[in-house]
Amino acid sequence: MESGLIHIPYMRPERTSRQTFDWALANAREADQAGFTEFMVAEHATQKWECIPTPELVIAAAAVQTERIKFAPMAHLLPQHHPAQLAIQVGWLSQILEGRYFLGIGAGAYPQAAELHGITDVSTNPARVRESLEIMEKIWKREPFHYEGQFWNAGYPEEVDDGQGHDDHKIADYSPWGGTMDIAVTGLSVNSPSIRFAGERGFMPVSIYSGSSILKTHWETYEKAALEHGHTPDRSRYHVSQTVFVAETDAEAKKLAMEGGIGYAFERYLWPIWERFGMLEGYIKDVGGDPSDVDLEWICDNVWVVGSPETVIEKLNKLYEFTGGWGVLQVETHDYMDDPAPWFQSLRLIAQEVAPKIQLPFSVTAGN
């Protein structure tokens, strides 16, 4: 299994923008040095706890402070951007990163962010995602077109010939580095339209872990759509995000998770959101528990993956056996900026002690 980070970033609301930015870069540097392969940065225009509105700024700054790790916005919310502006921006950023970039796309989770961008009917979001991507791909081809869509108009201009055989007035090339853009799609709901779309297009699926049966359904949806559209579903390209904390002993890990940034964010912010999105139901079903059992310790024991390296390996292996597994564990970052040492130690243990010991149990090709 490869290990990545997803930086949402779940900052305490009193943090300044500068502190948030610095904490993002510190995580990127540590993850790069620890051996993480990917660093994803979320995009939220309205959420106080999820306070990075423009992931591309973090990515550009972090890229020059790191050497190997790949970056992705996870996700650029396609309904909330003009596709021409986004196509040029991500194409250019992929060129700046010279292969250390891929594009995450999503529909957008929060109606307030949609409202900010003038979208009053969020049921149009899946159609907006498809139209946006269609326009972006046309722009990346760099051939003249004019498109009048349901949501946006865009085009690609004709080259101007200066009549003297010079290239000076040609249109700048902001198409993806290497000619193609690697794309990943986020999926959340049980019958996820986003995961189906990822399968149809052969893009990488990215799920938030919210119970084994939802994850199984996501893979089945992805696999079916991929096969129907002539793509080979490959579990090694499947990304799953999860809250993970590792320390030398189980007791130490549990204390640092519950009393540190993870517990703080769950108690004040995430738990109510998870209830609203129905995400706790999947975990309750996994354990065979009752909603009245749920408190922070229950969440620590049954929802997060917390413990010594041995315990975390055992927990992840169990999840792999039940769900079929995934290729990249996307560890969700939390606010440990007042005392970062245990958090960074946890990152090192995940990348160096845990991830190499987790293997996909089945063949990674179609039908398994």
Contact code string over 10-49 relative to ligand FMN, x by CB under 6 A: --------------------------------xxx-----
**Residue 56 binds ligand FMN, judged by CB under 6 A:** no
Q: Give the footprint of ligand FMN on residues 95-134 (CB under 6 A).
A: 106-110, 113
CB 247 within 8 A of CB 313: no
Alpha-helical segments (H) within the chain? 17-34, 55-63, 83-97, 111-116, 125-141, 193-201, 212-228, 250-259, 261-265, 271-276, 279-287, 296-302, 309-323, 340-349
Q: How far is the CB of 331 from ligand FMN (least distance, A)?
A: 12
- 20, 94, 194, 221: residue in contact with ligand FMN (rule CB under 6 A): 194
Tokens of 279: 């995400």
Q: How far is the CB of 43 from ligand FMN (least distance, A)?
A: 4
| DSSP for 174-228, written as a single string | -SPGGG---EEEEE-STT-HHHHHHHHHTPEEEEE---HHHHHHHHHHHHHHHHH
CB 209 within 8 A of CB 244: no
Could you tell me which of 54, 44, 39 has the C-alpha nearest to residue 10?
Answer: 44
- 59, 62, 198, 208: residue in contact with ligand FMN (rule CB under 6 A): 208
Q: How far is the CB of 176 from ligand FMN (least distance, A)?
A: 21
- 33, 54, 189, 345: residue in contact with ligand FMN (rule CB under 6 A): 189
> How do strand 153-156 and strand 145-148 relate by DSSP bridges?
antiparallel
- 24, 51, 63, 75: residue in contact with ligand FMN (rule CB under 6 A): 75
Would you say 224 or 357 has its CB closer to ligand FMN? 224
Would you say 279 or 312 has its CB closer to ligand FMN? 279
**Residue 77 binds ligand FMN, judged by CB under 6 A:** yes
The dihedral over CA atoms of 46, 118, 111, 47, expressed in degrees to the nearest 10, equals: 0
Where does this chain bind ligand FMN (CB under 6 A)?
42-44, 74-75, 77, 106-110, 113, 186-189, 192-194, 206-208, 241
